[in-house]
Amino acid sequence: MVKKIITVISAGILAAAVMNFTAFAQPLDRTSHGYGQGTEVDENNRPTGAEMFNDEMNQYGCYAMLEDNGEIYLTFDQGYENGYTEPILDTLKEKNVKAVFFLTGDYAERNEKLVKRMLDEGHIIGNHGMKHASLPTLTDEQVRTEIMSLHDFVKDKYNYEMTLFRPPCGEYSEQSMAVCNELGYKTLLWSFAYPDWDVNNQPDPTAAFEKVTKAAHGGGIFLLHSVSSTNAEILGRVIDNLREQGYTLTTPKL
């Protein structure tokens, strides 16, 4: 009788283990999602959309916002160069602020002087995809090529090994982010962004300053585009204001 009970228990444990392994081995979701932080915030002004993203995607090394520790992280997407990166770097140097610059392959290839200046002045450069391709539309092998071809180019040309990734257009899937994580990358989305990328329709500087500074929150990852004349104009005042609000401007420690 005791042997029978033990056999039944053992069979139950084995069945549970098989079920858990089967669940774990299920293919990850390849559904494409377009990220946005939304407009809802909690009592600390932290976007609830970014918090929800973290809850779902932290397991793949993805972050839309970091710990509420009184720090804000300025990040710039570098799709192409039209003359505003240099004044942005001038301001960051003047204010003693380090930022993250996410480079596409074309930017890394065409703008050696600016990329070297970013590195020389202590900024982080991140991977924004060799061809700025939407990762969920690619096979796993194509995702690896999209990321690692730029990784290897930057390592060879600039003697720098990137560790941070930002998916082009904020488009991601569970599967594509898992592949990024397997490649040793942490993925940064953002908890603040605004329409600053259209060079033919730049936001009013006064309104932009108000929008950026009123969005301040601890652990905030701010996405700005370096093609923006408005960003170049207001950046110094934004930095001063965020510091006046009590925030430290630094780079992520992941």
Residues known to be catalytic: 77, 225
Q: Are strands 164-165 and 33-34 parallel, antiparallel or unpaired?
A: unpaired
Q: Are strands 248-249 and 100-103 parallel, antiparallel or unpaired?
A: unpaired
Structure tokens at 139: 């096979």
3-state DSSP assignment of residue 210:
helix
* Contacting residues for 135 by C-beta, under 8 A, at least 6 apart: 129, 143, 146, 167, 168, 171, 172, 173, 176, 179, 180
From the list 166, 169, 175, 208, the residue with the least C-alpha distance to 63 is 166
Burial category of 172 from C-beta neighbours within 10 Å (exposed 0-12, middle 13-18, buried 19 and up): buried
